[in-house]
A and B are shown apart, each in its own frame.
Chain A
Amino acid sequence: MPEPSTAAVRSAPTGVIHDIGYQRYQGPRLGRRHVFGALYLHGLRTTFGFGRSVKAKIFPWLVVGIVTLVAVALAAVRSQIGEPVATYAQFADNMSWLVIFFVAVAAPELVSRDLHSGVLPLYFSRPLPRNDYALAKLLALVTALWLLLGGPQLVMFLGAAFTTKDGMKGVWNELLDLLPGLLYAGLWAVVFASIGLLVASLTGKRAFAAGGVVAVFLMTTPIVGVLSILPSRTANELAGLASPPTLVRGTGIWSLGDLLVEDGQAGLSIGGFGPVYALAAVLLVAGATALLLARYRKVAS
């Protein structure tokens, strides 16, 4: 039997790298819903700094840490004294300042960064409609804020559910308290996200955007203060409409009642204007969203 010559063995190709050249893509191309979903998830991750530098993670997770810590403390105190220190809705109320700061960081991160780097033409030269871009970002911020307030509420609920002395009935009652709290957190999220994102979408400078967001929420507070000491009961009761945080609180007082304020407690008094507050909140969100979409019809074309 003839041996294969060594030269033939050597010349046989063993580990050759082939440049297979350019390959056309034959796979599936997903539709609008999937693209929207991908952009939404990308936005949600961005708000918490995922897929970003360590620096971008510091602030969001500081806020998450604080609200969680407060929730754990409330749950712990409650399990000791057997009496709720704050209802779920009150918790959301008391965390509102942290939410404002979170929006001031997250909203510019979502939209101002894209404006600044000029990346929008790369989005808008793809099939994605402009409205989808804006709405996906808005939905991402709403979700982030809702998780920020709802997550700790869940911690409080778990604390209460595991320490309740009334068995399953206690857990059920607790759940009935939690659900309105989560809805109220959703209201905070929608109102703050729509306004915050609109303000941030006006500038590509993140510092200006952050300042603008805080200013919108802060500057309106003195107006409420002035209106609420006017010698007119109607003016006092409508004062809360002038500022987003008091608007949300007013809507909450009307819809949740004693889940938010205990009887006789001093605070925002809305009289019989509850539905006005609710309507104002809806109009505010709708108006801010419409302006946001209008903004993105103009930008980068």
Chain B
Amino acid sequence: MTLIATQSLTKTYGGRVTALADLTVAVEPGIIGLVGANGAGKSTLIKILLGLIAPTSGQVSVLGIDPTADPAAVRARVGYMPEHDCLPPDLSAAELVTHLGRMSGLPRTAARERASEALRHVGLYEERYRPVGGYSTGMKQRVKLAQALVHDPDLLLLDEPTNGLDPAGRDAMLALVHRIGTEFGISVLVCSHLLGEVERICDTLVAIDGGRLLRADHISAMTSATDVLAVEVSEGTEELAARLAALDLPVAREGRLLLVPLADDGTYDLILGAVAELDLPLHRLDQRRHRVAELFATRELTHA
């Protein structure tokens, strides 16, 4: 079953500002990373998926339901964690999440039970009875996640869940999101402007820029390219490139760096041998983690 599908989805504000332009994408259940710079249209897409705003044109379906036609049916099965601060400071987390559970249609006792379960799953225990106003940013993010989880949705829409968190908090939040996606059996759409973050946890990556789709694919398909070695010599870069090419190594130039695909450990020896033979001052030789970011970067370059 397709989790989310859009067809030529376009949203313009006031006819001038284009938030989404002709976006066509289909993703399967799992953990989906939605990446893009600020203003790329991530939040607009989420709001359209929730049926909060109507697209200017194009079709959209979430869990097989059209949110423009039946927003209530979509929202009943979706949990949403907004990007911005949205917690009343004078309520306790337990009260707030219970109340929002009831707003999702849970009976009173079920709402209370599910609220403490959801808060427990995000790692809030005794502190859930204290007013939210005194919570740290990390705890507030957890409450926001718990309220999205309280009614046991089939899909979570998380808008920048790591916003404002320190590195340890980011790791904890990402681990939590990963657990929800893998152990809880709930599909998750994670929005972020930090590609390095979401690529660690998601199965599928959707990248948008300026409201247009850059690429959507399984993360495995994106990272299957071989790793590369970056070689930098203080002088004689040209000679080294020529020598390596003579050794049947496909060399690419990137500024002052030479990039050589890493076939096996023998590649190291070949490069080191070439550098030694030419007697060049080797500045650095390191293996690059082939991050998805580079795929997008080169792709954008080829487009330009």
Q: Which residues of A contact B (CB under 8 A)?
A: 21-25, 27-32, 34-35, 38-39, 42, 51-53, 113-114, 117-129, 301
Q: Which of B47, B86, B117 contacts A118 (CB 8 A)?
A: B86
Complex Cα spacing A10 to B72, Å: 55
Complex Cα spacing A27 to B108, Å: 12
Is B248 located at the chain interface by the 8 A CB criterion? no
Q: Which of B72, B86, B99 contacts A127 (CB 8 A)?
A: B72
- Contact at B90–A128, with CB atoms within 8 Å? no
Secondary structure at chain A's binding surface: helix, strand, loop or mixed? loop
Q: How many A-B residue pairs have CB under 8 A?
A: 94
Complex interface residues of chain B between 103 and 149 (CB less than 8 A to chain A): 103-108, 110, 114, 117, 121, 147
Q: Which of B53, B76, B82, B185 contacts A122 (CB 8 A)?
A: B82
Q: Which of B86, B103, B147, B180 contacts A35 (CB 8 A)?
A: B103
Complex Cα spacing A124 to B128, Å: 24
Is B88 located at the chain interface by the 8 A CB criterion? yes
Tally chain B residues at the interface, Cβ within 8 Å: 39
How far in angstroms is the closest Cβ of chain B from A74? 37
- Contact at B102–A35, with CB atoms within 8 Å? yes
Q: Which of B80, B87, B107, B183 contacts A27 (CB 8 A)?
A: B107
In the bound complex, residues from chain A placing their C-beta under 8 Å from that of B296 are none
In the complex where A24-B185, A39-B103, A121-B86 touch, is A29 in contact with B52 (Cβ < 8 A)? no
Q: Which of B88, B102, B147 contacts A38 (CB 8 A)?
A: B102
In the complex where A113-B88, A119-B88 touch, is A21 in contact with B183 (Cβ < 8 A)? yes
How far in angstroms is the closest Cβ of chain B from A254? 42
Q: Which residues of B contact A (CB under 8 A)?
A: 47, 50, 52-53, 72-73, 75-76, 78, 80, 82, 84-90, 95, 99-100, 102-108, 110, 114, 117, 121, 147, 151-152, 180, 183-185
- Contact at B78–A22, with CB atoms within 8 Å? no
How far in angstroms is the closest Cβ of chain B from A58? 14
- Contact at A127–B95, with CB atoms within 8 Å? no
- Contact at A117–B86, with CB atoms within 8 Å? yes
In the bound complex, residues from chain A placing their C-beta under 8 Å from that of B184 are 22
- Contact at B90–A24, with CB atoms within 8 Å? no
Give the most central of B73, B87, B102: most A CB within 10 Å.
B102
Q: Which of B89, B99, B105 contacts A117 (CB 8 A)?
A: B89
Closest to A39 in B: B103
- Contact at A123–B76, with CB atoms within 8 Å? no
In the bound complex, residues from chain B placing their C-beta under 8 Å from that of A114 are 88
Complex Cα spacing A232 to B85, Å: 57
In the bound complex, residues from chain B placing their C-beta under 8 Å from that of A122 are 80, 82, 86, 100, 147
Give the most central of A117, A120, A126, A301: most B CB within 10 Å.
A126
